[in-house]
Structure 1
Amino acid sequence: MSAPRRRRLIAGVLTLTAALTASACSGGGAPAVDGNTLTVMSKLFGTAPDPEGEMQQAVEKFLGKKLQVTWVPNAEYTDKLNVTLASDKIPQVMVVDPKLPAFVNAAQAGAFWDLTDKLDKYPNLKPMDQRTALNASVNGKIYGIYRMRPQLRSAMVIRKDWLEKLDLKLPETVDDLYNIAKAFAEKDPDGNGKKDTYGLIIPKWPGNYATNSPYDTLETWFGAPNGWGERNGKLVPGFDTPEFLEANRFLKKMVGEGLVNPDFATLDSAKWNEPFFHGKGGMIIDVNVRSRQVFDLFRDDGDKNYGDKVAMVGNLKRSDGKKFSLPFTGYLDVLAISRQSVPTEQDLDNVLKALDKLGSKEGQNLVMNGIEGRNYQVVDNTASLINETDPVVRTVQDNADDAFVQLGFKGDTDIGGIAYPRTPSGQPYKDMIKLQNELMAEDLKTAVFNPALPVISPTAVSRGAQIDTIIPDARIKYLSGTFTEEQLKAEIKRWYDSGGTQVAAEVNDLVSKLGN
């Protein structure tokens, strides 16, 4: 979240909390409850579905209810959420980041149902993984049904054809990463006779510290905590460790030697794949599904040998052979239920029953994969795509991909969920998915989990706009050469002096109380 947006959120928090408390307690202005209609507000990553379209009708027929969805483009969602929370027209169900300050304040003020002890009676809503349920909680309280995602997605994609041209092996350690990056930058891997390539591609990262950026991943590989970790009996932020500094010295050396794209501080993350596709850079540290995104670029360009262009490896070992893998939270957003528009226990039961039905295997396959027989068929327990070139059927698939998948909260079977994993046509895709699952299983053995994920520090909520960007900004300046290491250390101290000391104390206290 950008700093200006965070400031707008925090600025209205006291007024918002008071308004939410009043509406939660009195129900003032709440819309009439209609047991035959489910109202939802959700993020949108493409074009909003037609309310009369095939997907909407299919979901409504399955649920036996009318479905009214307010689709909000992802880039505008936080602002829209803030406005909606302060209104008297809150939808019954909202897709929301449970750690967002505005939501945390609203939930703790009583604006959303506390579902901690209510989900066990609904067989399809019970948490499938207790660690993930705790990660998605607010200090141990569950205010939403978490949307399941892989617990480990970190990986690195590499130009396979460049490796083969330079007779290089796949990397296993951070030293291999450096050596391959150096070869890609200096040994003309594209064969054009010019020194116009580099090894590692990094974009401008929109998130704060510990947001699964390439920097966070590399720091974890060097042994730094993932967000927060224990040192001398206390939890400390990962950036206050020697391993954090060592990792950034390593990356600064790569930047200084021209092994990283020179525009790493400004490259639009939406264009992250382009240097890889166009033969400018050879490696990307990100999530494993990026391997299939770059496959798409080569395939759609007419390259019949697209499978020969991309290789992938999992998390890398440190120089001493020790391995520390970066896991993810295991969830992405939650489905929270408003107490304003769902005022009674009976109303809540009605909504939970609808979500429980949606949480069945049939329901999750529908919202995550689309309409069986229309745009996929079941082959070897996977959703094998069909009619991919039919523009009408493609619309059904796009609606599932960009919109209705937001109502998918049970994941596919490849990550322990219940929906069929989707399989595009083309053997390279099938091989890459198989490799992806093998790497995830292996790297989970060395995953470094963040023990502070379940808790929310009050000071982090109230002072986040002032302190959240201190470390990522200082890191970029250090890597770019405008900050010395001493100046980077001074910024770490400034984080503590600006409220971080209190954040650390609160995090330690809250974590110690989990489960009590």
Structure 2
Amino acid sequence: MSKFPFQRMTRMTKTLVPIVTLLALTVSGCSGGEADVSQPQTGDAGEKPDPYGKYSEPVTVNLGYYTPAENKWPEGSKDTLTDNRYTQMIEEKFNIKINHAFEAPQSGYDQKVSLLVSSNDIPDFLFVSESDFNLLVESDMVEDLTKAYEDYASPLLKNVISGFGPDFVKKVTYKDKLYGIPSTVPAHDNDNIVWIRTDWLKKVGIELPKVITTDDLEKVARAFIEQDPDGNGKKDTYGLQGTSTFVTGTTNYNSFDGIFTAFKSFPKIWVKDANGKIVYGSTLPETKQALGKLRDWYAAGLIDKEFGTIKPDQVAKDISAGKAGISTGYTWAPAKSLADSVKNDPKAEWDSFILAAPDGKWYNRQPNPMGRIMVVKKGTPHPEAIIKLINWFTDMDNMAPGYPKLYSESPGTNWQVRPIQRTFRVKSTVYDRFQRLQDAASGKLKREELPESDMKLFDQYQKGMDALKASPSDWAYILYQFNGGKSVLNPINTEVYSEFYGITKSMEMKWTNLSKLEDESFLRIIVGDKPLDYFDTFVSEWKKQGGGDVTKEVQAEVDRMK
């Protein structure tokens, strides 16, 4: 039987064992001989493992559950969180009954899970964070899922997980054994776009290529401030607006993240230096250069003087009111703020632009590809039951042939009402959809060749953007999918992943203070409270206050991953 490679993110030093093949992730698992009576019951007695097989007797899955923040059942429906189309079809298809071991508000789910983990009182099936996963494995509280995964995971699920690379599965294995099924976070869902009002560009006489530089952005910001693009005879429009969360590990709404990456600066993530050693991106010279540019822009009045305290909602109001014509951040920013812009001014026109680095590449830091991890309490009967359910939902998440389209006619029904409240999507999910839509728009792909959900988007796109303004939310979503999506597909798009997403021992004690030091130092440099060379002081203090110890621990974990 093939094995899983040894590795996991841990706060404890472990003795390495030889790494073995990843075949278990890419081929069907073997079926063993006689059952090991010391292990939890797996499948029906004498059955051949079937990833979609139905139990002859009812099996109950007791799992932790969070209540979606918003949900609307179909009109006239008697559906509930415990009795709905999902649970009914699961019972019909698998003879599995879903029981909520607990229900917690979505905002309080992780806290609830951490309390259960610390009290050694977890339910049979549970999605947990990486840090809680580590504690559970160290405490010998969760089931070895190696055989269950090999025997019962569908080929699609195995392909989804293996598609994120060998290091991905290493995070949930220990001593050659698999202890969790990781949900996935596709790439390119948060790429950094600069959205600019193109009707304002025409008014100030600026033509921009789709790929712009920081000099281009500076020119636009200055023009929008000084040349009265809204035509009211007053200098009351903004250039660049940043919020109190102006730099993150990926990107944020109206942040300066794209300006940092335009300098090949990758703050708040771990990267390799020229010698292949792990370093913290916020401490590198490129970050100092980016801060220097932001400092110059702030001194010149191109950045709103109150940017360090502005909340994202205020920026959205300024855009809606026609006082701001630049929005930086998420690819899907139109759905968040630009819709009200055209609602209040139907003449408003927006388009996406790429802020590239001097080497011509567009760098986008990607989120942690690993979402929450499904674990099974040690000794729980039928651990493979949860894998069967994950198989089924993986089919839905990836629109496999014949996948069930539950609640497709009820857009108000939140997908999170399903029992498996995480997604298992291939890495290229977002990218693939953008490509399909562009192919349909160019005629390379026929409408009827699109998935049903894409057909609806394509039909809206064909109405024309001006016609869609009658429904600003539809206009914004199509702008995101087609204009934003086209930018994401640009070949200069370059993925940047952190070399480490876990938590080390020193991080637990020192990271909050280190992050505060970083954020305050960056802000003081930008607004001119400290000189640019104060950056060197920050780096020195960061290392002295624990950053050096953290870096050594991260290096050790990355080395162990090899």
Range class of TM-score, shorter chain: 0.7 to 0.9
Partner of 1:132: 164
Partner of 2:118: 86
| 8 Å CA contact 2:251, 2:258 repeated in 1 | yes
| 8 Å CA contact 1:44, 1:74 repeated in 2 | yes
Partner of 2:135: 105
* 1:197 maps to which of 234, 237, 241: 237
Distance 1:168 1:367, change over 3 A: farther
| 8 Å CA contact 1:138, 1:456 repeated in 2 | no
Distance 1:360 1:367, change over 3 A: closer
Partner of 1:464: 511
| 8 Å CA contact 1:209, 1:471 repeated in 2 | no
Report the CA distance between 1:105 and its aligned residue. Answer: 3.2
Partner of 1:510: 557
Partner of 2:539: 492
* 1:447 maps to which of 491, 495, 500: 495
* 2:424 maps to which of 404, 409, 413: 409
Aligned residues: 452
Report the CA distance between 1:249 and its aligned residue. Answer: 0.9
Aligned to 1:37, what secondary structure does the other structure show?
strand
Which amino acid counterpart does residue 57 of structure 1 have in structure 2?
N
1:62-107 CA-to-partner distances (Å, cap 9, x unmatched) read 3224444556445434433332333455344444443xx4554344
Which amino acid counterpart does residue 88 of structure 2 have in structure 1?
K
Identify which range, 173-182 or 81-90, moves more after superposition: 81-90
Which amino acid counterpart does residue 219 of structure 1 have in structure 2?
F
1:380-426 CA-to-partner distances (Å, cap 9, x unmatched) read xxxxxxxxxxxxxx532xx2379889433226954458986565574
Distance 1:465 1:117, change over 3 A: farther
1:6-60 CA-to-partner distances (Å, cap 9, x unmatched) read xxxxxxx99xxxxxxxxxxxx9xxxxxx833352334744359799527861111
Aligned to 2:508, what secondary structure does the other structure show?
helix
1:260-279 counterparts in 2 under 5 A? 260-279=303-322
| 8 Å CA contact 2:361, 2:492 repeated in 1 | no
Partner of 2:16: none
Q: Which runs of 5+ in 1 are unaligned?
A: 1-12, 15-26, 28-33, 376-393
Report the CA distance between 1:243 and its aligned residue. Answer: 0.8
Aligned to 2:289, what secondary structure does the other structure show?
helix
The alignment's C-alpha RMSD in Å is: 3.9
Matched, 1:218 2:284: no
* 1:285 maps to which of 324, 328, 334: 328
Distance 1:438 1:349 in 2: 41
Matched, 1:322 2:364: no
1:113-170 CA-to-partner distances (Å, cap 9, x unmatched) read 5657864541243252647366766756474422333335222222232222222223
Partner of 2:195: 157
Distance 1:400 1:243, change over 3 A: same
Aligned to 1:185, what secondary structure does the other structure show?
helix
Partner of 1:253: 296
Distance 2:420 2:193 in 1: 23
Matched, 1:437 2:485: yes
Aligned to 2:415, what secondary structure does the other structure show?
helix
1:341-394 CA-to-partner distances (Å, cap 9, x unmatched) read xx34x531122112212221389699998523x23xxxxxxxxxxxxxxxxxx5
1:3-18 counterparts in 2 under 5 A? none
Distance 2:420 2:327 in 1: 26
Q: TM-score, normalised by structure 1?
A: 0.75
Matched, 1:57 2:84: yes
Distance 1:91 1:257, change over 3 A: farther
| 8 Å CA contact 1:90, 1:338 repeated in 2 | no
| 8 Å CA contact 2:366, 2:496 repeated in 1 | no
Matched, 1:228 2:270: yes
Aligned to 1:347, what secondary structure does the other structure show?
coil
Distance 2:149 2:207 in 1: 49
Report the CA distance between 1:248 and its aligned residue. Answer: 0.9
| 8 Å CA contact 1:161, 1:309 repeated in 2 | yes
Which amino acid counterpart does residue 228 of structure 1 have in structure 2?
W
Identify which range, 411-420 or 435-444, moves more after superposition: 411-420
Distance 1:68 1:354 in 2: 14
1:304-346 CA-to-partner distances (Å, cap 9, x unmatched) read 55xx5321123x223x453241131363622422425xx34x5
Partner of 1:297: 340
| 8 Å CA contact 1:49, 1:403 repeated in 2 | no
Distance 1:347 1:419 in 2: 35
Distance 1:215 1:403 in 2: 36
Distance 1:284 1:135 in 2: 35
Q: TM-score, normalised by structure 2?
A: 0.69
| 8 Å CA contact 1:148, 1:332 repeated in 2 | yes
Distance 1:298 1:472 in 2: 31
Identity %: 18
Which amino acid counterpart does residue 483 of structure 1 have in structure 2?
K
